[in-house]
């Protein structure tokens, strides 16, 4: 099985359910063995296409989606919800799924929200990155 098909399946699962597929569910959906699914997940992680939960073969991140709860919850008008890895990813999700509201928590614990409608974020905000983009994958979990 082509790794692109596995990657597409991961993204389709995130969009549809808000969660990544497990190796078992990916194997079942793609008619491959769990070992083949796990190997594909590892190859995709090696290529920085996804990130795996530390110590496992399960999906942690497929940017902009997070497989675990974060400070960035993105909600579509139809009620579907996704976790984003960071503010940047939170405003990217609407580009994939349509208009959304981003519910987030600032570093100081203060909650805020923005709407993304037709690709426009309102109210306007500035996103500050403490880590240069070239270093994101040095420690993707804390970036």
How far, in Å, CA of 10 to CA of 67, rounded? 11
Based on its alpha-carbon atoms, the radius of gyration of the chain, rounded to whole angstroms, reads: 16
Strand order in the sheet with 59-62: 51-52, 59-62, 65-66, 81-84, 72-76, 100-105, 111-117, 120-122
Q: Which residue has the tokens 């905000």?
A: 125
Domain ranges of the chain: 3-62, 72-132
Q: What CATH number belongs to 3-62?
A: 1.10.10.10
What are the helix (H) ranges across the chain?
Answer: 3-17, 23-30, 34-46, 87-97
What is 84-96 written as a DSSP string? ESSHHHHHHHHHH
How far, in Å, CA of 91 to CA of 106, rounded? 15
Would you give per-residue pLDDT tens digits along the chain (143 residues)? 799 999 999 999 999 999 999 999 999 999 999 999 999 999 999 999 999 999 999 999 999 999 999 999 999 999 999 999 988 899 999 999 999 999 998 778 889 899 999 988 887 766 666 766 676 656 666 65
Whole-model pTM: value is 0.86
Residue 100: count other Cβ atoms within 10 Å of its Cβ: 26
């Amino acid at each position: 099985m082509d790794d692109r098909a596995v990657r597409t399946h991961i993204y389709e699962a995130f969009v549809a359910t808000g969660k990544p597929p497990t190796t078992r569910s990916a194997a079942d959906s793609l008619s491959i063995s769990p070992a083949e699914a796990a190997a594909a997940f590892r190859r995709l992680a090696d290529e920085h296409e996804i990130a795996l939960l530390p110590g496992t073969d399960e999906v942690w991140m497929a940017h902009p989606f997070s497989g675990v709860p974060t400070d960035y919850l993105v909600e579509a008008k139809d009620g579907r919800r996704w976790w984003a890895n960071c503010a940047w990813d939170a405003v990217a999700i609407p580009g994939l799924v349509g208009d959304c509201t981003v519910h987030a928590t600032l570093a100081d614990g203060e909650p805020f929200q923005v709407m993304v409608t037709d690709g426009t974020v309102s109210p306007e905000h500035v996103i500050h990155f403490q880590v240069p983009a070239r270093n994101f994958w040095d420690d993707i979990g804390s970036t």
